[in-house]
Amino acid sequence: MNVLQRIGLLALVGIAWLCADLASAQQDVKKNTKFPQTVLIIRHAEKTGEKGDIHLSKKGVERADVLHKLFEMSKERAKPFPTPDFIFAAANDKSSQRPLETVTPLAKSLKLTIHEKFDSKLPKAEEKTGMHKLRDEIFGESKYFGKTILVSWRHKSICELAKTLKATNAPTKWEDEVFDRVFQISYDDQGTATFANLPQRLLPGDSEK
């Protein structure tokens, strides 16, 4: 490589660094300062369907083990989901520990604590349940502003949770046999939410759209 080629290569590297810095600066400017940047809601992974079994099925364990791929760029996933800064899971109860089990491998790989103090009960009348307390925490504490939050929940109240988090156009029902979707809720600095219902595409047979 001659001198001119070396100069040209150095110039290209410098331009690339500058573009990266500009892109990073633009992202910083767009960072939300009053609300979370993104909330990702997933249902816990597959269950056995056997009465009294509170744990994931074999396929559920497989899904939990590859959940990290949602956040990694690959040939199959050109645009990954934003990597979580915080992870929440519906609190364990006598019928299920699956929400916590689903995100445990991911939390270990990201070295994040799982916040599991909120129940997934549907509210009755004006009752304040776990989903309302979760909302109050992530909308009320500045450490969540501009961050990505992943929530692992139960399907019977997952649509109500999305609406509680300002996703007014979320579906009204999550079908019992569905485990492979992501509800993505993005916020601007005024708290206006944009909702998307997206495929996980993690395991064979998962929906492509």
Structure tokens at 10: 């150095």
pLDDT tens digits along 63-97 = 999 999 999 999 889 999 999 999 999 999 999 99
Average pLDDT of span 187-194 = 95
User: For all residues of the chain together, what is the average pLDDT?
Assistant: 89
Report whether pLDDT(25) > 80. no
Where does residue 119 rank: exposed (0-12), middle (13-18), buried (19+ CB within 10 A)?
Answer: middle
116 lies in the same domain as 158: yes
Report whether pLDDT(19) > 90. no
Q: What pLDDT, on the 0 to 100 scale, is given for residue 2?
A: 54
Report whether pLDDT(3) > 50. no
Q: Considering its fold, how many domains does the chain have in total? A: 2
137 lies in the same domain as 107: yes
> Shortest CA distance to 42 belongs to which of 79, 84, 78?
84
43 lies in the same domain as 106: yes
Average pLDDT of span 2-15 = 45
Strand 38-43 and strand 86-89: the pairing is unpaired
Q: What pLDDT, on the 0 to 100 scale, is given for residue 1?
A: 56
Q: What pLDDT, on the 0 to 100 scale, is given for residue 31?
A: 83
pLDDT tens digits along 93-117 = 999 999 999 999 999 999 999 999 9
Q: What pLDDT, on the 0 to 100 scale, is given for residue 36?
A: 98
The answer to whether residue 208 is domain-embedded is no
150 lies in the same domain as 114: yes
Q: What pLDDT, on the 0 to 100 scale, is given for residue 136?
A: 97
pLDDT tens digits along 120-149 = 999 887 789 999 999 999 999 999 999 999
Q: How far is CA 32 from CA 101, 115, 137, 189, 192, in A?
A: 30, 22, 16, 5, 11
The answer to whether residue 206 is domain-embedded is no
Amino acid (one-letter) located at 62: E
96 lies in the same domain as 19: no
Q: What pLDDT, on the 0 to 100 scale, is given for residue 125?
A: 77
The answer to whether residue 26 is domain-embedded is yes
Domain, as residue range, for 53? 32-199
Report whether pLDDT(179) > 50. yes
DSSP string of 24-57, one letter each residue: HHHHHHHS-SSS-SEEEEEE---B---TT--SB-
